[in-house]
Structure 1
Amino acid sequence: MKIIDLYILKRYLATFTVMLLMFIPIGIVIDVSEKVNKMIENKIPFLEIALYYLNFTIYFANLLFPIFLFLSVIWFTSKLANNTEIIAILSSGISFTRFLRPYIVGATIVSVVVLLAGFFVVPKASQGFNDFRYEYLKGGGKEKMRKSADVFRQVNDEVFLHVGNFNHNSKMAFDFTLEKFDKNKKLEYKITAGRIKFNEKTKKYTMFGYKRRDVGPLGDRIQAQAKKDTVFPFELEDLTPTVYVAETLTLGELNDFIAKERKRGSGNIDTYLVVLYKKYSLPVSAFILTIIAVAVSSMKRRGGMGMNLAIGIGIAFTFVFFDKIFGTLAEKSSIPPFLAVWLPNFLFGILAVYLLRNAKR
């Protein structure tokens, strides 16, 4: 790698790092100013607050890294253009495509870091961040993020259940129904209970008002007990996971979770798939935004660096806006999650090719 490549690569990584170190403290200060009253009211230990802001830093650095990366590339490339360094580089016989090489190397380094962090580090930070918010800062706590009424679940290929009402704090459900089918999809037996309670120590369920109906070829057999203890192949946490559960799982855990939820017929599959696909699409956006930033800022403009930054901020926020809008549409509408997640990269990829061609001219 030539000296000029190392020079640009160092500027790329250093400016991106400085941009993160500049804006994250500002975000922390704003967040503290908004939440300090609730933190004092709830008498939250300082160690938990410190851990929350560590998770906050990781969570938002990953969420907003496209903006930080885009602005940092705009910033230092505009400085190169204003100092006529880019003109000197291109006048020496280096093509614009060759000039882009250190930028692509920098984008590769950032993408690999973001990809690995999204697989293993960010999920744990997301869990700590969300758990803290819903435990201390939001009314209703984590239970607000669970489905609590008319819960239908497919436990496996043969067992289906329904719960009329569910309270996760008391580990208790009401109007419980479980149906077991054979391989030919014929009902084998049906269990109902007015109330069912889960014991975390024994992993057993206590059913109150227990009734079981076994379906037979010559007639049905009915059993009834006021109270009965039994074991089921599920836990209450599996029945009504929090909405943000997918964000808190590492790559392997998320794939297993989606497979299990798909088998159970979960209605939140699209939400979980959006989280999975974004783990891959977000790092790819580093390359697209880098090319757009270089194409926009490599030309010396009459407005100087301020004009380039204004254009850059507009494009960066438009990208984030599209990313959020299509992600929400995938969760709430019939748009396939894969298409919704990758569409912003596709659209801005076309823009990157167009701007790059103009920049070469």
Structure 2
Amino acid sequence: MKILDRYILTTFLQTFLTVFVILFFIFILQTVWLFIAELAGKDLDLMLIGRFLLLSSPRMIPLVLPLSVLLASIMTFGNLAENYEFAAMKSSGISLQRAMKSLIVFICLLSIVAFFFANNVIPAAEYKFLNLRKDIVQTKPAMAIAEGQFSDIGEYNIKVNKKSGENGEKLEGITIHKKSVNGSGNNVVIKSKNGILINNEESSMLQMILYNGNYYENITPKKYEERNKVPFVKASFKKDIINIDLSQLNTGQDDGEIANTNTMLNVSELTYTLDSLHKNFDKEITSFSDNIYQRTGAANLSFNRTKEVIKNDSIVPDLEKLLTPAERSKVLEVASSNVLSSKYSIEQNKNELESKQKNINNHWLALYEKFVIAYACLLMFFIGAPLGAIIRKGGLGLPIVFAVLIFITFHFINTFGKKVAQENGIPAFLGSWMSSIILTPLAILLTHRATNDIGLINLDVILTPITKGFQKIFKKKNNTTHNV
């Protein structure tokens, strides 16, 4: 390695590591802030808290790494340009691309490492992080219920306004939604003024005792036309006991078990899972279509002429003439009931299919995201390095402003694209790569302008015509004054 390459690489690495540590510490503080309500006051030892934060930290890398590359690139090349080191290089016949050569090799290696990190380390950390939270819930069940928001625990969604007591076992303002067996919604709602949690660490059952509350349940009539009335049952109670099974929340730390969550799967596992999901999805659509077709009775229709419908060697034009008024009324009633039943079935299956399609989209997004983080490192470097050479400012002032604006734009477009892709508004590939596709032309433009020593914005194109216009106006005025 030549002295110049070693000098630029050393300067960049020092800046990159410093920025990475600072940003990583900031995101760690954000994690502490998010989970402080669950961790504080639960008699958890420092070792457990440290492990909790350690396992939650890998998920921050996809945010911290590209931002660190962007900021370090702007600062490094901004310092070199500000101190006229680039001018000295160019006078010696060294171009910007030649100066970036060692860093391009490093960023390529960093992108490869980022991909393997996202493919192997983050899924394993997510799996262990989830299991650690489940273990904590087993020993400290009150942690599973957060204040002011619904917490998914087994077959219940539980929300409490306030928790108190030594271990947060005393609850106030309790709202419980019981999940339906068929997944059609929450038909049972329980509201209670206060309650208490009782558990035994040797048992997987959590007992919740509720006081002074009401029980509500929506009743689904068998006849579809009566469902618009929305009947329900209401009951009051002084004391009620609910047993919650925590066995599903405590799967242990068995490394051989793979959780069915897209963030916990690597590329090969995601590919296998997606293949199974697509096959099941297509099979369900085919099965439902056949079911609806059979309901219509079209499969049983026969167009062969029979003796009963033949009259004077022609088919009877009006089938109603063969039926009495009572029979016609019965036929219309059955047909109307079948239509309403089919409509309700289609609506129910539509929601289920949309949910399954969303799950498939989430798996595709998780798959593409592992490649996006690798490309994001390259993209941010080719934005930051030319930008630093153009603005010719180092330090923590202007570079931070540019880095934050660019990264917020990247992150906003990325989040927007994934949200739209989750709802099946756009393909998952486009949703994951939208931010990269939009910012890639910016990286090409900045690299081109920095290579050709063109400023960030060529104001001469705008100012020159304006200046010439004013000069002509003032020249005409001067000529008029002299003539007078």
Q: Match of 1:326?
A: 417
1:81 and 1:87 in contact (8 A); partners too: yes
Q: Match of 2:84?
A: 84
1:81 and 1:297 in contact (8 A); partners too: yes
The SS at the match of 1:335 is coil
Deviation by residue 1:27-83 (Cα, 9 ceiling, x = unmatched):
323433453342134433433321121122221123332112111111222121221
1:59 and 1:129 in contact (8 A); partners too: no
Q: Match of 1:123?
A: 123
Q: Match of 2:264?
A: 248
2:107 and 2:381 in contact (8 A); partners too: yes
Give the letter aligned to residue 266 of structure 2: T
Q: Match of 2:113?
A: 113
2:24 and 2:64 in contact (8 A); partners too: no
Deviation by residue 1:109-147 (Cα, 9 ceiling, x = unmatched):
210110110111011122334555675465424656xx9
Q: Match of 2:17?
A: 17
1:13 and 1:106 in contact (8 A); partners too: no
1:301 offset after TM fit, Å?
Answer: 4.2
2:361 and 2:424 in contact (8 A); partners too: no
Tell me, in whole angstroms, the C-alpha distance in 1 between the residues paired with 2:276 and 2:37. Answer: 41
Give the letter aligned to residue 340 of structure 1: G
Cα pair distance change 1:246/1:358, threshold 3 Å: same
The SS at the match of 1:298 is helix
Tell me, in whole angstroms, the C-alpha distance in 2 between the residues paired with 1:64 and 1:150. Answer: 42
Tell me, in whole angstroms, the C-alpha distance in 2 between the residues paired with 1:163 and 1:36. Answer: 32
1:8 offset after TM fit, Å?
Answer: 1.6
1:78 and 1:305 in contact (8 A); partners too: no
Gaps of 5+ in 2: 138-142, 158-177, 188-203, 206-246, 249-256, 282-355, 453-484
2:77 and 2:389 in contact (8 A); partners too: yes
Q: Match of 1:293?
A: 384
Gaps of 5+ in 1: 153-161, 171-198, 201-236
User: Which has the larger displacement, 300-309 or 38-47?
Assistant: 300-309
1:89 offset after TM fit, Å?
Answer: 1.4
Tell me, in whole angstroms, the C-alpha distance in 1 between the residues paired with 2:270 and 2:415. Answer: 21
Tell me, in whole angstroms, the C-alpha distance in 2 between the residues paired with 1:299 and 1:164. Answer: 58
Q: Give TM-score, length-normalised by structure 1.
A: 0.68
CA RMSD of aligned residues (A): 3.4
The SS at the match of 1:318 is helix
Give the letter aligned to residue 27 of structure 2: G
Mapping 1:48-197, distance limit 5 Å: 48-131=48-131, 135=137, 136=143, 139=146, 140-141=151-152, 143=154, 149=180
Give the letter aligned to residue 77 of structure 1: F
1:69 and 1:290 in contact (8 A); partners too: yes
2:388 and 2:394 in contact (8 A); partners too: no
Which residue, out of 416, 428, 434, partners 1:343?
Answer: 434
1:52 and 1:128 in contact (8 A); partners too: no
1:261 and 1:269 in contact (8 A); partners too: yes
Tell me, in whole angstroms, the C-alpha distance in 1 between the residues paired with 2:185 and 2:35. Answer: 36
Deviation by residue 1:301-332 (Cα, 9 ceiling, x = unmatched):
47986223312221121111111111111111
Give the letter aligned to residue 276 of structure 1: L
Tell me, in whole angstroms, the C-alpha distance in 1 between the residues paired with 2:393 and 2:25. Answer: 33
Tell me, in whole angstroms, the C-alpha distance in 1 between the residues paired with 2:272 and 2:179. Answer: 24
1:261 offset after TM fit, Å?
Answer: 1.9
The SS at the match of 2:4 is helix
1:75 and 1:305 in contact (8 A); partners too: yes
Cα pair distance change 1:300/1:346, threshold 3 Å: closer
Give the letter aligned to residue 68 of structure 2: F
Matched, 1:29 2:24: no
Give the letter aligned to residue 271 of structure 1: N
1:164 offset after TM fit, Å?
Answer: 11
Q: Give TM-score, length-normalised by structure 2.
A: 0.52
Give the letter aligned to residue 357 of structure 1: H
The SS at the match of 1:93 is coil
Identity over the aligned pairs, expressed in percent? 25
User: Which has the larger displacement, 328-337 or 29-38?
Assistant: 29-38
Which residue, out of 447, 457, 471, partners 1:356?
Answer: 447
Mapping 1:266-305, distance limit 5 Å: 266-267=356-357, 268-301=359-392
Tell me, in whole angstroms, the C-alpha distance in 2 between the residues paired with 1:92 and 1:35. Answer: 55
Larger Rg: 2
Q: Match of 1:179?
A: none
Deviation by residue 1:266-317 (Cα, 9 ceiling, x = unmatched):
3310011001011112101111110110111113547986223312221121
Tell me, in whole angstroms, the C-alpha distance in 1 between the residues paired with 2:44 and 2:73. Answer: 40
Cα pair distance change 1:252/1:138, threshold 3 Å: farther
Deviation by residue 1:222-263 (Cα, 9 ceiling, x = unmatched):
xxxxxxxxxxxxxxx99xx77xx1101122222222222222
2:15 and 2:72 in contact (8 A); partners too: yes
